[in-house]
Amino acid sequence: MQFTNFEQFFAMGGYGAYVWSSFGITALLLIWNSGIAKYREFRMRREVKQWQLQEKDDSR
Amino acid sequence: MRSFVGWTLLPQRAVHQLSSPKYFYAVSRIISPWFALGFLVCATYGLISGLLFAPPDYQQGHGFRIIYVHVPAAFLSLIIYVVMASASAVGLIFRVKLAYMLAKSCAPLGASFTLIALVTGSIWGKPMWGTWWVWDARLTSELILLFLYLGYMSLGLSCEDSKKADSLSAWLAIIGVINIPIIHFSVNWWYTLHQGTTLSLTKPAIAPSMLWPLLAMIGAFFCYFMWVLLIRTRTEILTRERQCQWVKGLGIRD
């Protein structure tokens, strides 16, 4: 362990703002990317299910 | 003899089956959660060991920890481009529809990793070099990579005819491969502010206690890439093949 308390950990030896903004931006972009991919897949699968139901109705 | 020939054909058959969107869809539904798990495991280990346990750099102090997002992102930005260009080439040569869909799904991921590499590099440069940006070979060629990804994405969007869009953007991806070795070797070919290669098979420039978290973060970013790539490709398959019988027959849980 390189830090003895939380303040030291957040300060990062004076580089805190640089280190945490880098990690924060990376986390944001990754979360946004996977979130949008997941949401698009969810929407597409819902549409496919709706088409399937419509076809069932049409064939009746 | 006959069975031997049969066995040698096995990989060919596997590739042939996987190149069918239907099988790819089913297989990817099974394997993609494992990449999500791999991402979580690697990222947890990498972040804890990289942020808490790796010793500070003798020149850069704790500021060097930016390496644990910067280098993996830069590495992936190159790998993803190679994957995208290879898939494009397979699409053009063998007329495999799935290859185009894979290539198309690579682009936004590659662009994101390139952006992460550029932004974190800029943030790292400010305290260490005293400037956010310099027009040197490494930074400029990485910026060109971002424009290649964005160009690829907009070319696909601007074309009405999807077949034409596929082949045009595939050509762009293939021509852009020239940029990859330029980025990789730029720190050796030109005088540059950017430091040399950290990862090397022959003479590692980094202590093991700093190296393991880095490898874990590269593993994490790779798993993340594969996970999101499979999700995007499945969505693309459903979008393009919605008129096909197999999509109409998909079960609720498939």
pLDDT at B68 over 60: yes
Contact B112 A29 (CB under 8 A): yes
- By Cβ distance, the residue of B54, B109, B238 closest to A33 is B109
**Mutant choice from A21, A26, A28 vs B, greatest count of B C-beta within 10 A:** A26
Segment B39-59, tens digit of pLDDT: 999 999 999 999 999 999 988
Higher pLDDT, B193 or B223: B223
| Integer Cα distance of B68 and B220 in angstroms | 11
pLDDT for res B170: 96
Instruction: Tell me the ipTM for this assembly.
Output: 0.93
- Tokens representing B3 are 């069975």
- Could you tell me which residues come within 8 angstroms of residue B138 by beta carbon, excluding any fewer than 6 positions away? B183, B186, B187, B192, B194
Nearest to A13 among B54, B61, B69 (CB): B61
pLDDT tens column, B119-131: 999 999 999 999 9
A37: left (phi over 0), alpha (psi -120 to 50) or beta: alpha
Q: How far apart are CA B54 and CA B77, in angstroms?
A: 25
pLDDT tens digits along B19-40: 889 999 999 999 999 999 999 9
Q: Distance (Å, rounded) from C-alpha B151 to C-alpha B169?
A: 8
Best residue of B65, B102, B217, B225 to probe chain A, by most A CBs closer than 10 Å: B65
